[in-house]
Amino acid sequence: MRILGLDYGSRTVGVAVSDPLGITAQPVEIVRRKEENKLRRTLARIEELAGEYQAELFVLGLPKNMNSTLGERAEKSLEFGRMLERRTGLPVVMWDERLTTVAANRAMIEGGVRREERGQHVDALAAALILQGYLDSLGTQKSADAENEE
């Protein structure tokens, strides 16, 4: 089963995809739009990608505040998730994305990516980190379930 990871921002949506076994996440692309509320083309492109990769689930980053409360950005992400579910019929799992963009930038700095090029990749890499966190949690859950069965 393939899963698409999404990092929803005010003008971009970073997209990542899992491998068929659900072990690793890879950045795919960044869907850009000119205005924050113009989502028709963005949703259409994500729907295309879901079909192309035969995705069965979306994992959408939920930008919680550091104290775990939900702010304006989180509310917009929740609404985007509802629109995506209605449009595609696929389930959307909301995943805590705190500090993923920071981690993505840090990884690119450590990898020697020039400042001018980081903006072209940061959202897709953040989506991969969101998705990888979700995939890792599934692996941890499977390990715990196997231990409990023994």
pLDDT digits (tens, 9 = 90+) for 47-102: 999 999 999 999 999 988 778 788 888 999 999 999 999 999 999 999 988 766 66
The alpha helices in the chain, defined as continuous H runs, are: 40-52, 72-88, 100-110, 115-118, 122-149
Structural domains for the chain? 2-149 (3.30.420.140)
3-state helix, strand, coil in the chain (%, to 5): 50, 25, 30
Q: Which two tokens stand for residue 13?
A: 């949506």
Cα–Cα distance measured from residue 82 to residue 93, given in angstroms and rounded to the nearest whole number: 10
Band (27; pLDDT cuts 50, 70, 90): very high
Mean pLDDT of the chain: 86
| pLDDT (0 to 100) of residue 148 | 55
Cα-to-chain-centroid distance, residue 44: 16
pTM of this structure: 0.83
